[in-house]
Amino acid sequence: MQLRAFRVEMFKGVVDSGWIDIERLTAIVGKNESGKTTILKALHKLNPFEPEPYVMAREWPRGHRRERNSSQIVCTARFELAEAEIEDLRQITDQQVDFKSTVDVTRDYAGRLETCFAEGVFPDRVHPNQVDTTCESLPEIASGALGHTFSERAATLQEDARRLAREGRFSDLPALPNDHQTALQTLIQGSPQEQADQQTYIQQYVSKLAEVVRVLTNSPSIQRQAHEYVVQRLPTFIYMDDFKAFVGTAMLNEVKARRDQRTETQADRTFQMILALSALNLDELCSQEEQNDREQRQYDLDDGAKTLTNLIRERLKQRQYQVEFRADGKQFFTMVTDNMNEALIRLEERSKGFQWFFSFDLMFMHESKGTFKDCVILLDEPGLHLHPGAQKDLLDRFEEYAAGNTLVYTTHLPFMIDLRHPDRLRVISETPNGAVVTNDLTQSQPDAKLTLQAAMGMSISQSYLVAQRNLVVEGVDDYWILSELSNILIRSGGAGLPEDVLVTPAGGASEAAYIATFMTGQMLDVVVLLDTDQAGDNARDALVKRWLTRYNGKDTQVLSLGAVIGAASECSIEDLIPENFYLDLAMHVYARKLAGRTLTLRPGSQLCKRVERGFAELGIAFNKGSVAKDLRTALTRMKDSSELPAGMKETAEKVIGAIRGAFDSLGRASAAPV
């Protein structure tokens, strides 16, 4: 079962969050005090590892006191069933029905956990097969030995008992043994042997009937069996909101004294987590020190360190961690090394980033009790104390956790937003009726909008500057060539790219798609120019069919280069350039490596790919970016379009004209009355 969506109602500052769709890795973005923690806590209490009930006295929304009701559902979670689980549920019912691939599970303030099935799919009665099997224990009627009249009446009574059982009328069953005994006693007659056989039958029948009644009235209904099946497979929810660095050095006797006096510090608690994960006992370590049993204590410390090392190694494979424990009298030390830094250094003396990641991993292990798969991990504002580079590393770590679990985290930090996956973003907003969550980025309030825009402008790998009108292209080569062609057309008295349009180069077609999605989500006008190839087509489909449907596509136009210039096959920005002109540039850039060798181009589509294959046949690695730089220089030096190779002006005008037309279309759409 995998969590796909959830909804929170009447919990603290949330009256109705609305349905919140969930991916394997989901980020809920919002300012402080917007309700992010409330949303996570309500979801966590649906099925926590340790029981944590909803408390109506403290968690019911303020100002709604007259509406208090313990039957109020707080959280509804929608889970996707695996094929094997659907088949198992089919086996529980006797009906041939088409199951939905999802099932809703709710928990209310009274703590009741309920599974919501479609009406009639799982009847509230015992399975007929179980009824028939149980009723088979009723004794057979030997009509020849019991007499005709008695046998007929006995058969009628048995059939009546079976009928009531099949109909699920279990409230009528307890009276049957006494009623049937009375009815049969009045029919005893015949020879002494027949009467004896009749009495024996009555005793056996009444005894077996009482057993049937007991079994059936205590048997779970089909609906109950289905409910229990689903509940047993619910993922465990793990909530973490305190990511303080662990302290691995401590005075054992002082920690024990504060624990016994219930005055533990945060450092004491994290230290005891290390001991618990290592299967070490604080009392035993203190006792060994008092008895001066150094040999046994060091043996236990080495064994505990090995235990923790193995636990870390099984979970964290990006580095090879090794833990060592040392004790000097009452003082305890934790040393950690890894394959990136082999020095054995005390935990507190490692870098802050290392301490934080190490502590985060141990905290997760402790909270999950070693349950590392199929959990729902809820992280409240992770990475608050990390620098931007470490926050990016944390996002990479989330990918690892989400590989076997569902991970939901909240944030208001720009660097904790992964620009590569806009479909994972959910925005929380405050309304008069409490916090609501949506995947529509246009609904974000100013603070959340600022976070999203900052994420676009503060990416570690690339700066995405934005304007009201933006042209997104696949790469720097596209940016250079389009910009210079636009400048040439303007120098020649023609129309180039609009002056207020900012061109943003991406790192490929897929990146162009998610940058465009972010910009559209911020209510900006966006035109996307994609190559006509598999990558470009996939990006176009993702934009048009998946992401832009959230915003009605009203602020975005997607152009395919091949359609713009009328190409019948795959093409990229280099196909705006005549083959001979581009080939001359390429040969000039690689003149030394070619050294008089002949470059041959095979038939095919996309000029740059054909040139790349030609160079590959000569054993030369081709970099189209190097040629694009020379092309940019050549275009910059041209006085006007008359110096362009034949046909290039017309092709450039088609592309620039299509871009201008797309922005004009967006302008008309913006001006249209609502």
Same domain, 522 and 578: yes
pLDDT of residue 460: 33
CATH of the domain at 17: 3.40.50.300
Q: What is the DSSP string of 269-297?
A: HHHHHHHHHTT--HHHHHHHHHTT-HHHH
Give 524's DSSP letter.
Answer: -
Nearest one of 273, 268, 299, 498 to 367, comparing CA atoms: 273
Same domain, 15 and 67: yes
Nearest one of 124, 129, 138 to 213, comparing CA atoms: 138
- Final residue of a structural domain among 370, 388, 423: 370
Q: Do residues 435 and 14 make contact, with C-beta atoms less than 8 angstroms apart?
A: yes
Entry pTM: 0.59
Residue with tokens 């950690």: 336
CA 642, 645, 651, 652 dihedral sign is: negative
Counting DSSP H helices and E strands in the chain, the numbers are 25, 20
Instruction: For residues 184 and 201, give the distance between their C-alpha atoms in angstroms, rounded to a whole number.
Output: 10
Q: Where are the beta strands (DSSP E) in 319-362?
A: 321-328, 331-338, 341-346
Q: Is residue 453 part of a domain?
A: no
Q: Please write the tens of the pLDDT for every residue from 193-211.
A: 888 888 998 899 889 888 8
- Final residue of a structural domain among 169, 185, 220: 220
What are the residue ranges in the chain where pLDDT is below 50? Answer: 457-463, 670-674
Q: Is residue 452 part of a domain?
A: no
Q: Which residues of 243-268 are buried (b: 16+ CB within 10 A; e: fewer)?
A: bebbbbbbebbebbeeeeeeeeeebb
pLDDT of residue 419: 67
Same domain, 250 and 204: no
Same domain, 648 and 515: yes
Same domain, 228 and 144: no
Same domain, 35 and 138: no
Q: Is residue 451 part of a domain?
A: no
Q: Is residue 457 part of a domain?
A: no
Same domain, 110 and 139: no
Q: Is residue 463 part of a domain?
A: no
Q: Do residues 662 and 527 make contact, with C-beta atoms less than 8 angstroms apart?
A: yes
DSSP, collapsed to helix, strand or coil, labels residue 302 as helix
Q: Please write the tens of the pLDDT for every residue from 38-57.
A: 999 999 999 987 788 999 99
Which residue range is the domain that position 178 belongs to? 128-220
Structure tokens at 69: 């009701």
pLDDT of residue 462: 44
Cα→Cα distances 405→368, 372, 376, 378, 628, Å:
12, 8, 6, 11, 44
Same domain, 486 and 591: yes
Give 251's DSSP letter.
Answer: E
- Final residue of a structural domain among 351, 370, 389: 370
pLDDT of residue 362: 78
Give 48's DSSP letter.
Answer: B
Same domain, 282 and 135: no
Q: Is residue 458 part of a domain?
A: no
Q: Is residue 455 part of a domain?
A: no
Same domain, 321 and 415: no
Same domain, 604 and 589: yes
Q: Report how many domains make up the chain.
A: 4
Helix (H) or strand (E) holding 59: helix 56-59
Q: Is residue 386 part of a domain?
A: yes
Same domain, 45 and 100: yes
Instruction: For residues 420 and 404, give the distance between their C-alpha atoms in angstroms, rounded to a whole number.
Output: 20
